Chains A and B, each alone.
Chain A
Amino acid sequence: MTTFLLIVHGLLAVALLGSITHQAISVLVPARKTADSFVGRVRAVSAPSYVSAIIVLYVTTAILGGIIYGEYRMAVRVVLEQLDLWKANGAFELKEHFVALGLGMLPAYWSFWRQPLAESETRARAVITATFAFIVWWSFLVGHILNNIRGFGS
């Protein structure tokens, strides 16, 4: 069951990674002319249309991560300590705190992105989106690396 939940957790994380990356790019380096290339089209996506999906994916991925966290604490972290893999252990500790802080940022994130978009909040909207992108990328990479070190069921 844990392996199944881990796979679903990973798949949702991939969707979240794609969504938040699209949104962050379109906010940080918006397209200034008609998109005629792959990069141009990435920059030209409609950033507000990602908000609901990002919130639902973030919460769902975090909940699933929270469910399998107990198994990680019992079966994986102990092994990391025995193998003296302190950097991997520390990276996961940071992940849990970053994700928790991200959950607390969701109301402000949602409020900044509600229509009509306030011109005065452009910078706050960009920074909070970039922060979310950082949290999601960090969490994804750390989760991926730890799963490579010791996947569930191994």
Chain B
Amino acid sequence: MTVSRSFHSSAVVFTVVYSVSYLIAVQNNYALFTYHPALEEFGPLVQPPRDGPAMYWYGWMATAALVAFVAAALARFMPERLARRLWSGWSWAVPIASMVVFSYMLSGFFTR
């Protein structure tokens, strides 16, 4: 099965936008929903802890996936000329850069 150029571009756009969105979502706590493990309950958007810790990780991923899905859908309409010029290396460069940023953000755990 071959992959059309527009699908390939959408896949690259999804990965790039997801990586950036996830980083922003974590930094600013833009969680689409909150999970309360002690109560085994989900709540919409960011909620304070209730009877135990609140978990935002699932919500951050959902936020990033939503934004990336919209961006990838829009990328399907990208002109062929533009799609061909899209550097596919962004699909690894941006996630790796995000991993480096996360490592820096969490370096306090390793230096205390």
- Give the interface of A toward B (CB within 8 A): 66, 69-71, 73-74, 86-87, 89-91, 93-94, 96-98, 100-105, 107-108, 110-112, 114-116, 121, 123-124, 127-128, 131
Contact = CB atoms under 8 A, between A and B. Distances in A.
B96 A96 contact: no
Contact of B106 (A71, A90, A127): A90
Given A101-B98, A114-B2, A108 B110 contact: no
A90 B104 CA distance: 11
Contacts, number: 110
Nearest to B96: A131
Interface string B42-70: 00000000001101011011001100100
B89 interface: yes
B102 A97 contact: yes
A74 B53 contact: yes
Contacts of A114: 1-3
B92 A124 contact: yes
B12 interface: yes
Given A90-B110, A127-B92, A100 B3 contact: no
B55 A93 contact: no
20 contacts: A70-B35, A70-B55, A73-B55, A86-B110, A91-B109, A93-B109, A96-B57, A97-B106, A101-B18, A104-B22, A104-B64, A104-B95, A105-B19, A110-B11, A114-B2, A114-B3, A115-B2, A124-B91, A127-B92, A131-B96
Contact of A108 (B11, B60, B61): B11
Contacts of A112: 88, 91
Interface in B69-110: 72, 88-89, 91-92, 95-96, 98-99, 102-103, 106-110
